[in-house]
């Protein structure tokens, strides 16, 4: 580009995909020559093998239950004979209980920690949006109020990760057209483009950020399922309820409200 067409210096311009070398249009749609082909396809084959293994296990369990007239368990747990009553019955049963229901009890806190991790890892415009959502969720305070807004939060995470995926792909470089924020009239530099997570041929968006967003979306989806399970009587019998003890808990009278045995002051 000419001097009036861009404000990018020459050294930074050489790193652009448009001017660093010939552009293969097929790479934009995910097609690239590779040798050996098996190395290129090994991750795809591994995912197919894992999915086939999962489907085989589920089909085998369904066939076994139908053949022996068995009903599926209420909760998808490893130790089906462990309930909330076994939590205080020895260390082994405690470990088994948390293997079954750790996310049921601490899933919401795990989502909050992952949200803080996304904010700390990204430190960009979308991290600020995640921070606003975290404040909005924490402002509800009550678990029932958080459960009401949680589907909207999951919808936000699903939409924003899809939108960022398309930002990472960007426009095809084959037409050799640069983005408008790289024109001579735009007051954008590489740091602003990186912070705004704009698609760019010089400072390309970091796709690793989508991994953090995906882990948060995965846990948020599991937590949404947990909120639905909390309303099922059969699940509450097995795993216990997640109802707050009281609205304004006084530390001095904690033992009066807490239905769980106190191993420190019950001597």
pLDDT at position 250 is: 60
pLDDT at position 173 is: 85
The dihedral formed by the CA atoms of 74, 214, 149 and 109, expressed in degrees to the nearest 10? 70
Nearest CA to 143 out of 118, 115, 117, 109 is that of: 109
pTM, rounded to two decimals = 0.81
pLDDT at position 247 is: 55
Please state, in angstroms and as integers, the Cα–Cα distance from residue 111 to each residue in 61, 104, 106, 134, following that order: 31, 12, 9, 10
Per-residue pLDDT of the chain (267 residues; tens, 9 = 90+): 666 666 677 777 777 888 888 888 888 888 878 788 888 889 999 999 999 999 999 999 889 989 998 888 777 788 888 888 888 788 888 898 899 889 988 999 999 999 999 999 999 999 999 999 999 999 988 888 999 999 999 999 999 999 999 999 988 888 888 888 887 777 888 889 899 999 988 888 999 999 999 999 999 999 999 999 888 888 888 888 887 766 555 655 655 556 666 665 554
pLDDT at position 264 is: 59
Sorted by where each begins, the domain ranges of the chain are: 31-71, 80-242
pLDDT at position 54 is: 93
> Residue holding tokens 């995912």?
47
First to last CA, the chain: 82
Nearest CA to 220 out of 168, 150, 267, 160 is that of: 150
């Amino acid at each position: 580009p000419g001097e009036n067409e861009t404000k990018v210096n020459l050294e930074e311009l050489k790193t652009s995909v448009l001017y660093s070398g010939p552009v293969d249009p097929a790479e934009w749609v995910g097609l690239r020559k590779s040798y050996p082909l098996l190395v290129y396809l090994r991750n795809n084959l591994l995912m197919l093998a894992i999915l086939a293994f999962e489907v085989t296990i589920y089909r085998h369990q369904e066939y076994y239950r139908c053949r022996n007239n068995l009903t599926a368990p209420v909760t998808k747990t490893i130790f089906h004979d462990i309930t909330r009553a076994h939590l205080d019955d020895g260390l082994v049963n405690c470990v088994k209980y948390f293997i079954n229901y750790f996310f049921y009890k601490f899933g919401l806190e795990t989502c909050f920690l992952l949200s803080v991790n996304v904010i700390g890892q990204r430190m960009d415009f979308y991290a600020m949006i995640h921070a606003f959502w975290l404040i909005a969720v924490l402002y509800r305070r009550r678990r029932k109020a958080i459960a009401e807004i949680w589907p909207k939060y999951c919808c936000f995470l699903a939409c924003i990760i899809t939108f960022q995926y398309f930002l990472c792909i960007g426009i095809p470089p084959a037409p050799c057209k640069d983005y408008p924020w790289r024109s001579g009239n735009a007051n954008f530099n590489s740091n602003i483009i990186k912070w705004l997570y704009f698609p760019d041929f010089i400072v390309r968006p970091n796709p690793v950020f989508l991994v953090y967003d995906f882990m948060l979306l995965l846990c948020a989806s599991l937590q949404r399922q947990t909120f639905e399970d909390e309303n099922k009587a059969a699940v509450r019998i097995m795993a216990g309820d997640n109802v707050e003890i009281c609205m304004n808990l006084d530390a001095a009278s904690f033992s009066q409200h807490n239905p769980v045995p106190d191993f420190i002051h019950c001597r």
